[in-house]
Amino acid sequence: QVQLQESGPGLVKPSETLSLTCSVSGGSLSSYSWSWIRQPPGKGLEWLGYIYYTGTTKYNPSLKSRVAMSLDTSRNQFSLNLSSVTAADTAVYYCGGPYQTRFDYLGQGTLVTVSS
């Protein structure tokens, strides 16, 4: 059974970069797409983007050039970097997979608060 687990700092200062990693167990990154989704407190879901196992990426244009995703197949992990964060980036961040168009697997989520 595939399981995903997000990890990273729970507190990030404004203007700094939010960095999260998703560890995948019970399956391989290969041949699939891996995504990031977030949910501000009390609000709905927002798709941030995905990275295909080849390294091809697709991002939500609302994030403009602030977002970058990468993967490390040797560690079976993929990562999210979101730069120049503001309070509006405070959210629970979920990693998911294994398809571009749906998320059969989602991590438990990790709350990231942007505050000085």
Partner 1 sequence: QSALTQPPSASGSPGQSVTISCTGTSSDVGRHKYVSWYQQHPGKAPKLMIYEVTHRPSGVPDRFSGSKSGNTASLTVSGLQAEDEADYYCSSSSDSGIIMFGGGTKLSVL
| Counts for the chain of helices (H) and strands (E), in that order | 0, 11
Scan for tokens 């507190």, then name that residue: 11
What's the min distance (Å) between Cβ of 1 and partner 1?
11
Show contacts with partner 1 in window 10-39 (CB under 8 A).
35, 37
Stretch that binds partner 1, among 24-32, 56-64, 69-77, 79-87 (CB under 8 A): 56-64
Q: How many residues bind partner 1 (CB under 8 A)?
A: 19
Stretch that binds partner 1, among 8-16, 21-29, 43-51, 80-88 (CB under 8 A): 43-51
Rg from Cα positions in the chain? 13
CA 12 to chain CA mean position, Å:
15
103 belongs to the binding site for partner 1 (CB under 8 A) = yes
104 belongs to the binding site for partner 1 (CB under 8 A) = yes
Alpha-carbon span 74 to 22, nearest angstrom: 13
94 belongs to the binding site for partner 1 (CB under 8 A) = yes
- The widest CA-to-CA distance across the chain, in whole angstroms, is 40
Say if CB 19 and CB 83 are below 8 A apart.
no
Binding residues vs partner 1 (CB under 8 A): 35, 37, 44-47, 58, 60-61, 94, 100-104, 106-109
